Amino acid sequence: MLKLTLIGGPTALIEYGGLRWLTDPAFSPPGEYAGGLVKTTEPALLPDQVEPIDVVLLSHDHHSDNLDPAGREFLARAGQVLTTVDGAGRLDGNATGLEPWSSMELRGAEGTAVTVTALPALHGPPGSDPVTGPVTGFALTAPGLETVYISGDNASLDVVQEIAGRCEPMDVAVLFAGAVQLPHRFDGAYLTLSSDLAAQAALILEVPTVVPLHFEGWKHFTQGADQLRAAFAGHGLTDRLVMPTHGIAVSVP
């Protein structure tokens, strides 16, 4: 069993395998940040309320909704940061870059061996990489524990299909949603999963539990909790959806 606490946007504390993991740190207050992205809510928890963090799982470092100024400052306080190869080159310090499908093993407090595998992600439609930049997802596996998929800012069901074909079955999928779109870019294609695409991803993965992130707290997210519930209900997946609550740990599954 793992515990997940939503801090806001893409940021969540995950307790798994005797380690404390943090996804995409965003701890800054509401306001406008790089790229014109507008944060609308306070983080549910501040850095000193989530520490210590053993590992930051950073999908990418170059968009402020995934790594805002306070989140960037926090990185040095974590045990280590796992991210893209490009991102690690920019961040330096305690950041390690992982190529897609590469793995590393970490040891939890009780000696549990947790394997982290970097997974592909596409932050938009095919061909969007030069604009949106490289992004990574992650899988966490450990003997006797759930296998966990963390999508990062992936918008591609083809990528999800590849992951489903190459990985062992997932028990929990943490899917970054929000249906982000760029005005006048990519003909309105999504840069992250829409609510319906998230439900389709759950079907492809045949995963029994889905926890969405990256659907609230920023102005550019176009779909939120209501749309996620409706989409999962429309696909007959209501029982698979676990909607997190700000600042409250939920045990999954």
CATH number at residue 131: 3.60.15.10
pLDDT tens track for 176-187: 999 988 777 777
Tens-digit pLDDT profile for residues 3-47: 999 999 999 999 999 999 999 999 999 999 888 889 999 999 999
Distance CA 57, CA 44 (A): 19
Paired tokens of 220: 């550019």
The number of distinct structural domains making up the chain is: 1
pTM over 0.75: yes
> Tell me, what's the pLDDT at 142?
96
Dump pLDDT digits (tens) for 51-68: 999 999 999 999 888 999
204 vs 198: CA distance, rounded Å: 10
Dihedrals phi, psi of 236, to nearest 5 degrees: 70, 30
- Helix, strand, or coil (residue 165): helix
Tell me the sheet residues that pair with 249.
Answer: 5
- DSSP summary character for residue 181: -
Counting residues of the chain whose pLDDT is more than 90, the rounded percentage is: 81
Q: Please, are residues 136 and 62 in contact by the beta-carbon 8 Å criterion?
A: no
Furthest-apart CA atoms within the chain: distance in Å: 51
d(Cα 154, Cα 192) in Å, to the nearest integer? 5
For residue 253, pLDDT over 80 is answered with: no
Domain range for 119 is: 2-252
Across the beta sheet with 2-8, the strand order is 95-97, 80-83, 55-57, 19-23, 11-16, 2-8, 249-252
Residue 219: per-residue pLDDT: 87
Strands (E), the chain: 2-8, 11-16, 19-23, 31-33, 37-39, 55-57, 80-83, 95-97, 103-107, 113-121, 135-141, 148-150, 172-176, 209-213, 249-252
Please, which residues have CB within 8 angstroms of residue 49's CB and are 6 or more apart in sequence?
Answer: none
Residue 90 pLDDT? 94
- CA dist 207 and 1 (Å) reads 15
* Cis, bond preceding 253 (omega within 30 deg of 0): yes
Confidence band (pLDDT; 50, 70, 90) for 145? Answer: very high
